[in-house]
Amino acid sequence: MPVPSPSSGGPGAVRAAHNSHLKNGHPELVEGSVHDEALQNPATPLNAMTKDPLFKFFSPAVIAVFLVLIFGFANWFLAGPVIQNLRLQYKAKSYPHVWGFVTSSEVLTRHHSKSPDSYQPDYTYRYEINGRAYVGAQFRYDDYAPSYSTSDNAYRVAGRHPPGSPIKIYYNPKDPGDSLLQPGLITSDITGVFAVSAINLFFLYLLLEVLQRIDERTQTREAGGVKIISGFSETRARLPRYRPVNVMISIFAAPLAIAIWAIPYYADRDGLIPTTYIAIAITLIIGVGGCLIQGLILWSGSQDLIIKPVERTIELPLTFKRWKRMIVPFSDITSVSLEKVRRSSRYGTVYTYASDLHIRQHAAQRLVDMKNEKRAESFVAWLRLQLGLVPDA
């Protein structure tokens, strides 16, 4: 009777347990006590069910090129204007100013398909530089101007600058015709940077995922691509529970998402408010600090599987709910098995391949969970070899 494996799939994960044996020197998944009806259906090929949905219609290379193009277009279309506006608005803080006169003051009605109309004061103005007259209508470089949910508020603001009233105008000394009414940065500028950063992180995550799948499909790597660190008296296999780069992206994405949602509630059309500076500081502290902590965890070796052939012991990593090192003699290890884990969600079903260490008088200990079956088989074969569990040819 197989030793039960620890819980590792979370809600919605159904495990299809398999016995592991050797075929041509590599572990092979064999149907054992299977409760997944799809796996019991001989009309459905195993490779058809386990086919990565990401590559169902297109090859990995096509998807990678597509993501790179989308990534570039998104940065050109979204990030470019945001960075350009940020640069111009910040530069305008040093512009000289001159007093001019309002030539027209009115309220524009903005119609929105999915929200109530908004009302925006709109001005045109006239000013003189070195005896030459100029006309302008620019509030900010991004054409953003304060808007209001009621027309009364908008007309009240517009009434503060009736035609003929003086108004302070900032102009570019190298091009006096380039002028605006509000230089410097405001909260929406920072929100835009956060939004573009979040989009870039999302595309970076997708691109890294695709590149990893391409590597898994095209490259054969020792121990399934697990980082192996060989020392004088021990061998370490680095087995983080989650990919470090994914963890770092998530650490940065979480405060960015919160900031994008929270900052607009404290928006100030007149400049950056303390809440904005706090949001920037928190995002940087959590993002940079979290990545440093993740790096320290990897560097500490707490997620390493440590094999000591001289002492004939193996130390299990602090992953999969293990909070302290578990030292196991080789003699207590009965087998290393490969378990196929079925994960279902509203987006579909995917399978991962978990490596379990079976120990006498203990529950099976999960070591790593991989998305690629061949890589998982390669790691199990490597580990069996290190533990002396591979029978002689």
Q: What is the pLDDT of residue 25?
A: 46
For residues 359, 363, 369, 372, the Cα torsion angle rounded to the nearest 10 degrees is: 60
* Strands ordered across the beta sheet of 333-345: 13-16, 333-345, 348-359, 365-370
Burial group, residue 214, by CB count within 10 angstroms (0-12, 13-18, 19+): middle
Q: What is the pLDDT of residue 57?
A: 61
pTM for the whole thing? 0.62
**Torsions phi, psi for 198 (to 5 deg):** -65, -40
- Encode 115-142: b = buried (16+ Cβ within 10 Å), e = exposed: eeebbbbebebebebeeeebebebbbbb
The residues spanned by each domain of the chain are 13-62+197-387, 95-183
162 alpha carbon, distance to own chain's centre: 49
330 alpha carbon, distance to own chain's centre: 40
Q: Give the integer Cα–Cα distance in Å for 19 and 389.
A: 15
Q: Which fold has domain 95-183?
A: OB fold (Dihydrolipoamide Acetyltransferase, E2P) (2.40.50)
Q: What is the pLDDT of residue 369?
A: 92
Q: Tens of pLDDT along 263-289?
A: 766 555 445 556 677 777 888 888 888
22, 5 Cβ separation under 8 angstroms: no
Residue 135 tokens read as: 């006309």
Q: Give the integer Cα–Cα distance in Å for 369 and 5.
A: 13
61, 48 Cβ separation under 8 angstroms: no
**Measuring CA to CA, which residue among 386, 17, 14, 375 is closest to residue 224?**
375
Residue 181 tokens read as: 């009414």
Helix H, strand E, coil C: the string for the chain is CCCCCCCCCCCCEEEECEEEEEECCEEEEEECCCCCHHHHCCCCCHHHHCCCHHHCCCCHHHHHHHHHHHHHHHHHHHHHHHHHHHHHHHHHCCCCEEEEEEEEEEEEEECCCCCCCEEEEEEEEEEEECCEEEEECCCCCCCCCCCECCHHHHHHHHCCCCCCCEEEEEEECCEEEEEECCCCCCHHHHHHHHHHHHHHHHHHHHHHHHHHHHHHHHCCCHHHHCEEEECCCCEEEECCCCCHHHHHHHHHHHHHHHHHHHHHHHCCCCCCCHHHHHHHHHHHHHHHHHHHHHHHHHHHCCCEEEEECCCCEEEECCCCCCCCCEEEEHHHEEEEEEEEEEEEECCEEEEEEEEEEEECCCCCEEEEEECCHHHHHHHHHHHHHHHCCCCCC
Q: What is the largest CA-CA distance in the chain?
A: 98
Neighbours of 7 (CB within 10 A): 11
pLDDT in tens, the chain (393 residues): 344 444 444 433 433 333 444 444 445 444 333 333 333 333 333 333 344 555 556 666 777 787 788 778 877 777 788 888 889 999 999 999 999 999 999 998 888 777 788 888 889 999 999 999 999 998 888 877 777 778 888 888 888 889 999 999 999 999 999 999 989 887 778 788 888 888 888 888 888 887 777 777 767 788 888 999 998 899 999 999 888 888 888 888 888 887 777 776 655 544 555 667 777 788 888 888 888 888 888 888 899 999 999 999 999 999 999 999 999 999 999 999 999 998 888 878 888 999 999 999 999 999 999 988 889 999 999 999 999 986 544
256, 167 Cβ separation under 8 angstroms: no
Residue 10 tokens read as: 């979370």
- Encode 287-309: b = buried (16+ Cβ within 10 Å), e = exposed: beebbeebeeebeeeebbbbbee
